[in-house]
C-alpha cells in the first residue's frame, strides 16, 4: 500500500456492487467533511473493482478482497453466498468479510484502522485524530449489554481465544457499532493468540468458524487478554445516528429520522438491509454540513444501543 495522507490512521470500508451509490455518498462525505487528511481504503471483490475505481482519488484507494487473502481462498464461480477454500469448508460471506477486516488491519500502512460501513455518511465536519492518539486509541465499548442472540458470538470469542469461565445469561460489554477503531499491534497479537490456541494459522482457524463477530473477538481479546497493555481507552459516545432495521421507511419516516439527528452526531447510517435508495434521502444530508459537532452528552445511558437491532 502507498504511504497514507495521514501517518497514524486509516479509514477502511468493505463494500460491493449493489452498495455502490451508498459508498459513493460515504467517499464524497469523507472528502468534503474530514478536518484532517486521511487515507480511505475501499475494499471490494475483484469483479466490482472497475466499478469502484471511479471513486478513487488522492485520498481514496480501491483494494480487492482477493489481494488481502491467501490463494487457497477463492470465489465460487456464479455463487454469491460463499467462497471456496482449499483448506476448510466453504466460507460464508459474513465470515469472510470479517477475515478481510483482520487481514487488512494487519497489513495497513497505518498503525490504527477505523472501520466505517458503506451505508454510513458523514454529515458534519469531523476529526478522527482523537481515535489514534499514541497511547489512547478509542475502543467502542458499551459497558453493560445483553442479548440472547449475541450469546453464540461471545461464546465463540471465548473459545477461539482459549478463555475459560464463559457463562450464559449475564451482561457483558458490547463492541459492535459504527466507527470502530483497532490498533495494528493488537490485531497482530490477536492473530498470534488464535494460532497458539488453535494450533493452525489464524486464517484457517477463523475460516472454520460457524459464527463469528470480528468486533466482539477483538474487544474480548483487549478486555480479557491485553487489559491495560492494549493502549485503548473505552468510549461509547453516540457519534452516528443509526437505523438498523431491515424495514424500509416512507418519506415522512425518513424526515423524522433526519430530524432526530443530534448536535453530537457526525454521521448517519441507514442500513442497506432497509433497501432505501440513497436518492430518497440525499437531500437531507446537507442540512448539517456547515455545523461543527458539539461534545457528546455526559449521560451515556441515554444512548440507544445500536447492536440491539443489528441483524447477526
- pTM exceeds 0.95: no
Interatomic CA distance for residues 130 and 127, integer angstroms: 7
Q: Where are the domains of the chain?
A: 9-309
Largest CA distance in the chain: 54
pLDDT interval class at 167 (50, 70, 90): confident
CA proximity to 304, closest of 266, 274, 265, 248: 265
| 7 pLDDT above the threshold of 60 | no
pLDDT in tens, 277-286: 999 999 999 8
CATH 3.20.20.80 fits 9-309, yes or no: no
- At residue 305, φ and ψ (nearest 5 deg) are -80, 115
Q: What are phi and psi of 64, to 5 degrees?
A: -105, 145
Confidence band of 299 (pLDDT split at 50, 70, 90): very low
pLDDT per position as a tens digit, 47-102:
999 999 999 999 999 999 999 999 999 998 877 789 999 999 999 999 999 999 99
Mean pLDDT computed over 38-44: 96
pLDDT tens digits for range 224-280: 999 999 999 999 888 999 999 999 999 999 999 999 999 999 999 999 999 999 999
pLDDT of 301 higher than 50: no
Q: What is the end-to-end Cα distance of the chain in Å, rounded?
A: 31
- The tens digit of pLDDT for each residue in 186-231 reads 999 999 999 999 999 999 999 999 899 999 999 999 999 999 999 9
Q: Dig out the grid coordinates for 164 from the structure.
A: 475459560
Amino acid at each position: 500500500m502507498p504511504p497514507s495522507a495521514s501517518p497514524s490512521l486509516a479509514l477502511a470500508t468493505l463494500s460491493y456492487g449493489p452498495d455502490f451509490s451508498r459508498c459513493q455518498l460515504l467517499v464524497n462525505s469523507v472528502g468534503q467533511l474530514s478536518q484532517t487528511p486521511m487515507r480511505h481504503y475501499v475494499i471490494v471483490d475483484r469483479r466490482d473493482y472497475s466499478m469502484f475505481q471511479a471513486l478513487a482519488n488522492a485520498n481514496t484507494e480501491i483494494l480487492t478482497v482477493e489481494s488481502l487473502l491467501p490463494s487457497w481462498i477463492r470465489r465460487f464461480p456464479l455463487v454469491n453466498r460463499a467462497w471456496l477454500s482449499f483448506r476448510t469448508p466453504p466460507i460464508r460471506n459474513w465470515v469472510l468479510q470479517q477475515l478481510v477486516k483482520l487481514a487488512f488491519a494487519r497489513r495497513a500502512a497505518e498503525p490504527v484502522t477505523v472501520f466505517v460501513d458503506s451505508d454510513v455518511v458523514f454529515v458534519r465536519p469531523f476529526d478522527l485524530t482523537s481515535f489514534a492518539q499514541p497511547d489512547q486509541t478509542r475502543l467502542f465499548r458499551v459497558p453493560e449489554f445483553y442479548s440472547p442472540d449475541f450469546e453464540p458470538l461471545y461464546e465463540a470469542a471465548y473459545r477461539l481465544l482459549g478463555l475459560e469461565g464463559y457463562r450464559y445469561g449475564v451482561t457483558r460489554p458490547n463492541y459492535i457499532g459504527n466507527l470502530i477503531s483497532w490498533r495494528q499491534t493488537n490485531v497482530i497479537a490477536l492473530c498470534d493468540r488464535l494460532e497458539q490456541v488453535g494450533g493452525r494459522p489464524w486464517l484457517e482457524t477463523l475460516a472454520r468458524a460457524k459464527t463469528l463477530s470480528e468486533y466482539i473477538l477483538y474487544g474480548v481479546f483487549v478486555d480479557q487478554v491485553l487489559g491495560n497493555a492494549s493502549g485503548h481507552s473505552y468510549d461509547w459516545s453516540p457519534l452516528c445516528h443509526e437505523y438498523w432495521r431491515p424495514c424500509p421507511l416512507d418519506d415522512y419516516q425518513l424526515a423524522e429520522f433526519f430530524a432526530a439527528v443530534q448536535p453530537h452526531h457526525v454521521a448517519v447510517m441507514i442500513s442497506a438491509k432497509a433497501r432505501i435508495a440513497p436518492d430518497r434521502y440525499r437531500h437531507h444530508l446537507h442540512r448539517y454540513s456547515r455545523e461543527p459537532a458539539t461534545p457528546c452528552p455526559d449521560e451515556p445511558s441515554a444512548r440507544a444501543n445500536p447492536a440491539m437491532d443489528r441483524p447477526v
